[in-house]
Amino acid sequence: MKPRTMDLFWRTASWLSGLTVSASVMFLIGFLLWQGIHALSPALFFGDTAWQDALFGRKPVFEGIWPAVVGTLSLVVLASLIAVPIGVAAGIYLSEYATIRQCRWIGSLVDLLSATPSIVMGLFGFTLILLLRRTMLPNAQTGLMLAAACIALIVLPYLIATTRASLQGIPEESRLLGASLGLTKWQHIRHTLIPLSAKGILGGVVLAIGRAAEDTAVILMTGVMARAGMPRNLWDKFEALPFQVYYLAAEHRNAAELAQGFGTALVLLIVTAALFGFSYWIERQAARRWDSG
């Protein structure tokens, strides 16, 4: 084929691919909005309970998705608290400390972890509880903390891979900068490499948050329950938005309940977008502080 034709072909193909992605996302959001927007109301969130009572936990919410919103947010925050420090530290280890041999081994294990289906991870959590019950903790049961730990395992590979990649993407001279200024290895990592790769690392955190918010299979086995209400502590059963969507869609008895399902899906989308927004805000604050600090 002539170079000009090739050029035209690839330009069109790239353009069409971009268009397909944008159109799919727009269609998805449009469809959700169309189906779910009229279900969005205080009643969807709080049912018959007054919103002030629900927000301050004075009265339980029976018919609304408010407990699921709280459950999902708690799950994401807890899973991030577990996974972000470990994932980022493991990424730093692989990029800065590990020998080529260690990198190969640990890298393969991380790949294996990322290939583990989430239902298997859920099963692992469930079995862990059974084991604990038979051994040390006869009262152990599935709940928020177990689900968060399993979700943390699921999102770890994202964090490790993005941290490692963004550290290794730093140009050679910048990588040598800390050492050339007489910084020790850790000072160099802390004061030059992490700031230089912060954007990439936060990208991984955003990915991990998104994944933690949407997972259903893991929590299905590890403590989610329809109509569990607000979790009273870290070991309690909980509700979650993706499970609520599944439950409403699968068990709906009338059109209104199905509409509620779409409304819940829309809320999940909004919650995830808000979490992304929050992460970008943190990134901007950090960048601003570094810039002028």
Partner 1 sequence: MGQRMKGDSPPDIRIDALRVCIGGRDVLCGIDLSLRKGEVMVVVGPSGSGKTTLLRAVNRLNESFPDCTTRGSVRMKLGDRIVDLYQDDLPLPEIRRRVGMVFQTPAILPFSIEKNIRLPLRVALGLKPQEIERRMEHALHDVGLWDEVKDRLNSPARMLSGGQQQRLCLARTIALDPEVLLLDEPTASLDFRAAARIEQWMVDHRDRYTILAVSHSLGQTRRIADRVCVLKDGRIVETFGRDRMADVEDFYARMEALF
Q: Residues in the site for partner 1, rule: CB under 8 A? A: 99-100, 171, 173-177, 179-184, 187, 191-192, 195-196, 198, 287, 290-293
Least CB distance from residue 202 to partner 1, whole Å? 13
Least CB distance from residue 183 to partner 1, whole Å? 5
For residue 118, give the nearest of 217, 245, 220, 244 by alpha carbon.
217
Residue closer to partner 1, measured from CB, 179 or 273: 179
Per the CB < 8 A criterion, the answer to whether 50 and 63 are in contact is no
Residue closer to partner 1, measured from CB, 3 or 182: 182
Dihedral angle, C-alpha 194, 198, 203, 206, nearest 10 ° = 90
Least CB distance from residue 196 to partner 1, whole Å? 6
Q: Which structure tokens are listed for 180?
A: 């050339």
Residue closer to partner 1, measured from CB, 15 or 105: 105
Q: How far apart are CA 289 and CA 293, in angstroms?
A: 5
Supply the DSSP string of 168-222, one letter for each residue. Answer: HTS-HHHHHHHHHTT--HHHHIIIIIHHHHHHHHHHHHHHHHHHHHH--HHHHHH
Least CB distance from residue 287 to partner 1, whole Å? 7
Least CB distance from residue 197 to partner 1, whole Å? 10
Per the CB < 8 A criterion, the answer to whether 94 and 257 are in contact is no
Residue closer to partner 1, measured from CB, 47 or 107: 107
Residue closer to partner 1, measured from CB, 185 or 232: 185
Least CB distance from residue 267 to partner 1, whole Å? 37
Residue closer to partner 1, measured from CB, 35 or 168: 168
Q: How far apart are CA 184 and CA 178, in angstroms?
A: 8
